[in-house]
Amino acid sequence: MPLSPEEFYAHALETADAEGRMPQSRMAAWSTAPFENDGLHVVPLRSPELPEPPRNGEGGQSCRNCTEEMEGVVWENSDWRLAVPGPASGAPLILILFPKGHFDLSTLPDDLASEMGRLIVHTAGAIEALPHIARSHVARYGDGGAHLHVFFFARPEGFAQFRGTWFAVWDDLLPPVPEAIRNDDARAVGRAIERSFGGHAVACE
Ligand SMILES: [Zn+2]
C-alpha cells in the first residue's frame, strides 16, 4: 500500500535539515542543469494539504477550455484541438493538444484514446521535421487543469545541454524566440498534420 500523505511527509523529512530542507538533488549535478550548485538551496518541504485545492474545471468551477474560445489554434478536427499556449517563450515552439470534450487522461473514452496515441505520434513527427529541431518532448501533468492537455516542447538542435527533463526550466530561462518565427513553425506543424493525419490546419496569428 502506498504511503499516506503523513507517512510520505515523515519519510521525506528523514533526510531534511531542521528547516525541512533536503540536501541537493542528483538532478542538480546533471550536465543539463541550468543552475550552479553553489548557493543553490532546496526550499523547505511543506506539510501535506488535504483535501487538495481544486484544479481549473473541477470542484464546482467552470472549465476554461470548455467555456472560453481558445486562441492560438493551429490544427483541429471534430474531437481535438492543437494550439500554441500564448506568447512565445524560450523554446522554439510549444504546442498543447486538447480533446474538445471535457475529459481527463483517466476518463478519456477508448476511441479518443486510440486517436490521441496516433495524434501524439503525428504531432511529434511534424515538430521533429521542422528545421533545427532535434526532438519533441511530450508531457502530461494535469495538476493545473482537469481538462486533459498534452504538451509538446520543441528542443532546438545542437544543444545537448537542453536534453531531457530540465528543458522545461530552460524554456523559462531563455529569452522568448521571435513571435513571427514561432507562429510560422506552429502553422507548418498544423499543415503537416492535416496532410499526414487529416483534420484542418488553422491559421493562428
Ligand atoms: Zn473542460
pLDDT tens for residues 186-203? Answer: 999 999 999 999 999 998
Instruction: Report which of 75, 76, 85 is spatially closest to residue 149, judged by C-alpha positions.
Output: 85
Tell me the CA–centroid distance for residue 155 and ligand 1, in Å: 29
Tell me the CA–centroid distance for residue 24 and ligand 1, in Å: 38
* Burial state string for 21-31 with b = 16 or more CB within 10 A and e = fewer than 16: eeeeeeeeeee
Tell me the CA–centroid distance for residue 132 and ligand 1, in Å: 34
- Mean residue pLDDT of the chain comes to 96
The backbone torsions φ and ψ at residue 67, rounded to the nearest 5 degrees and listed phi first, read -110, -20
Predicted confidence (pLDDT) per residue in 42-60, tens digit = 999 999 999 999 999 998 8
Predicted confidence (pLDDT) per residue in 126-143, tens digit = 999 999 999 999 999 999
- Its pTM stands at 0.95
Other CB atoms within a 10 A radius of the CB of residue 119 amount to 22
Tell me the CA–centroid distance for residue 8 and ligand 1, in Å: 31
Share of the chain above pLDDT 70, in %: 99
Tell me the CA–centroid distance for residue 64 and ligand 1, in Å: 6
Predicted confidence (pLDDT) per residue in 95-116, tens digit = 999 999 999 999 999 999 999 9
Amino acid 20: pLDDT? 95
Around 127, how many Cα atoms within 13 Å sit in the side-chain half-sphere? 30
Tell me the CA–centroid distance for residue 65 and ligand 1, in Å: 5
Tell me the CA–centroid distance for residue 118 and ligand 1, in Å: 22
Predicted confidence (pLDDT) per residue in 9-39, tens digit = 999 999 999 999 999 888 998 999 999 988 8
Tell me the CA–centroid distance for residue 56 and ligand 1, in Å: 9
Amino acid 78: pLDDT? 98
Tell me the CA–centroid distance for residue 123 and ligand 1, in Å: 22
Q: Is the pLDDT of residue 204 over 80?
A: no
Confidence of residue 205 (pLDDT cuts 50, 70, 90): low
